[in-house]
Amino acid sequence: MCKDDSPDFDRCRQPEQLRRKIERLNRQIEELEREKARLQSRIRTLEGREEEIGEKLDEANRKLREAKRALAECEKALADAERKIETLTIDNDRLRDTNSELRSENDALGERIRIIGKGVTAPCWYQQIEEINPITKANWREKAYYLFDIAIHDDHIEVQRLPIPEGSAEDDRGMPYVEEAKGLALDTIPYGKPLTDEQIRNAMRHLFEKGKASQIRTYSCVFYVRVWDETHSEAKKRWKQALALLQQHFGTHQVRGTSWKDRHKEPVNVPVSNRRADP
């Protein structure tokens, strides 16, 4: 046994120190073993989590790729839809313009047919009678009322006023003919006097212009007159010349079978009994 004062005391102490050191190291080893086991357990846990995370990451990446593809398809579909909308808008605008043009053409055609149905030259004053219209094939037509009786002589023209018809036009403003006559300055025309061609032009021009300018009806029209040929047989060139002058201003109906002097015996501007009740 080593004593404290023994010269080999330090040597004697070494085994004890070594034992304590070994015990300390053993404890450290045990602690390290436990730490190692803990770390290994942690590693195994993390490795499992890593696999799980990896699977989830792969799934997330797959879903992300699908979402990107869906987004690309959606953007393409949206672009296609926008192009189609633009095309449809253009087509719709064109169709609307075409429909507008067709409606205008149809309205114009309808108006043209309506006016043509009134006769080759639409009368400003008329009555509707039940009779097949040769143009429209309707079961009625418009029979003109006459404004004047006119005789063509060898060297002049004579105008006689006729009674203003009753009623009014049945397809527009509805003003009675007697009221319309007040705006025609009929009293300014020299009735029963010999008139030159130039005087006829000056006296009748305003009647023609009012009719053609749709100031009588809502459409272009002319007044009608009855005409007698009072020229001699050798003056038929004069008759044709004067008749052409009148036809520049009026619709004309040449009266045959009744003389100029007996014209008052023939009823004129009297409504016929079969006038249409409903236009």
Other Cβ atoms closer than 10 A to 68: 10
Q: How far apart are CA 140 and CA 124, in angstroms?
A: 17
Domain regions of the chain by residue span? 1-118, 126-265
Write out pLDDT tens, residues 114-145. 444 444 578 999 998 887 766 666 677 788 99
pTM (2 d.p.): 0.56
Nearest to 227 by CA among 157, 144, 141: 157
Q: How confident is the model at residue 111 (pLDDT cuts 50, 70, 90)?
A: very low
Q: What percent of the chain has pLDDT over 70?
A: 80
- Greater model confidence, 95 or 211: 211
Length of the chain as a residue count = 279
Q: How confident is the model at residue 196 (pLDDT cuts 50, 70, 90)?
A: very high
Most confident of 53-67, 129-143, 161-175: 161-175
Instruction: Report the helix count and the strand count for the chain, using DSSP H and E.
Output: 4, 6
Write out pLDDT tens, residues 199-253. 999 999 999 999 999 999 888 999 999 999 999 988 899 999 999 999 999 999 9
Nearest to 157 by CA among 250, 222, 220, 223: 250
Other Cβ atoms closer than 10 A to 110: 10
- Encode 217-239: b = buried (16+ Cβ within 10 Å), e = exposed: bebebbbbbbbbbbbeeebeebb
pLDDT for 121 equals 75
